Amino acid sequence: MPDKRLIWVGVALLLAMALFLFWGLRGKVWFIMELRATKLAALLCVGIAIGTATVLFQTLSHNRIMTPSIMGFDALFLLLQTGLVFALGSVGYAQLPAFGGFVLEAAVMVAAAVALFGWLLKRTRQDLQLMILVGIIIGLMFRALTSFAQRLMDPSEFTMVQGAMFAQFSGVDDGALLASAVVLLGILAWLWPRHAVLDVMALGRAQARGLGVAYDWLQFQILCTIAALVSVSTALVGPLTFLGLLVASLAHSLMRTHRHSLLLPAAALIAALVLVAGQTLFDRVLQLQSTLSVVIEFGGGMLFLVLLARGHIR
């Protein structure tokens, strides 16, 4: 029997999905439906990936104001993408198959993230503040390197990269979407049996090890997972800094529990709900284009400030 609160969020999500698909449907119905379904699938993938990744990252870092993007995960992804365009040229980059290209990018991203953040966690394990600061600075460095590489490009290559720089929910590529969905499902299938051991890991490294959990190995695996999840969402729509913080925080205050069997689905569902409902509102009611990410980032950013100002995060 799933938790009642989860069911409510699930029902709300289904309603939002139905509204998104069927509201204001006229003209070439099947053509529009197909467009909308693709977009809806992308929104769901991104929501689930970001919600899950943020809860996982907060569990690993034992800190409730952390998101993978504060630590520069998505900056790393953009750097990799810019690097690819830079190395292959716009023609070579455009010729990469969407599916294979995505898998390649995700794999490189996972390898790079694990090398970097694994090292960072190890070096600064004693000092969480230090780890946050180093993460922010490394993220800045990635962004600086990215824009430096972009200066060196010719204009056609630059337009190629520019598309990836800002969160956009329209114009999602079918091949990338399929690859994302496959990666996402694989990750969720791997993650689900581990929800209970995540509860133990949230107790902290020393406690978890004392209870017989192979903490370092699991932490390494989950870092890989987070990197892959961030790749999924960044590849589909671009960087979203504060959405994860927003939904992880909502999930925590809704569920009021330490149990990942509730927290993970709650965060995933809430993130999907925020994205789908927000996109419906913007597309159908306000008739605006591609400003959803701005509003979400604004809301999430405000929440971040509130959390910081309150001083302690529960």
Partner 1 sequence: MMKMSELSYSVSGTDILRDISVEIPARGMTALIGPNGAGKSTLLHLMSRQMEPMSGQVVIDGQDLATITAQARALKLAVVAQHLNIASRIRIRDLVGFGRWPHARNRPTAEDRAWVTDAMTHFDLIALQDRFLDEVSGGQRQRAFIAMAYAQDTEWLLLDEPLNNLDLHHARSLMARLRDMADHQGKSIVIVLHDLNYAISWADHVVALRAGRVAFEGPVQAMATGENLSNLYQTPVAMDHVDGRPFARYHR
Q: Which CB sits closer to partner 1, 36 or 252?
A: 252
* Least Å from the CB of residue 255 to partner 1: 9
Q: Which CB sits closer to partner 1, 63 or 150?
A: 63
Rg (CA), the chain: 19
* Least Å from the CB of residue 224 to partner 1: 20
Closest by Cα among 138, 164, 139 to 84: 164
CA distances from 181 to 22, 44, 119, 185 (A): 23, 9, 29, 6
* Least Å from the CB of residue 59 to partner 1: 7
User: Residue 57 is which amino acid?
Assistant: F
* Least Å from the CB of residue 212 to partner 1: 3
Which positions touch partner 1 (CB under 8 A)?
A: 58-59, 62-64, 196-197, 199-200, 202-204, 206-207, 209-214, 252, 256-258, 314
Closest by Cα among 163, 166, 169 to 292: 169
Q: Which CB sits closer to partner 1, 196 or 294?
A: 196
Q: What is the Cα–Cα distance from 60 to 118, expressed in whole angstroms?
A: 11
| HSE (side-chain half, CA atoms, 13 Å) at 262 | 17
Q: Which CB sits closer to partner 1, 65 or 153?
A: 65
Which residue in the block uniquely carries the two structure tokens 């990744």? 53
* Least Å from the CB of residue 217 to partner 1: 10
* Least Å from the CB of residue 244 to partner 1: 17
Which residue in the block uniquely carries the two structure tokens 């589909």? 236
Q: What is the Cα–Cα distance from 123 to 131, expressed in whole angstroms?
A: 8
| HSE (side-chain half, CA atoms, 13 Å) at 112 | 20
Q: Which CB sits closer to partner 1, 143 or 205?
A: 205
Q: Which CB sits closer to partner 1, 108 or 200?
A: 200
Q: What is the Cα–Cα distance from 244 to 252, expressed in whole angstroms?
A: 12
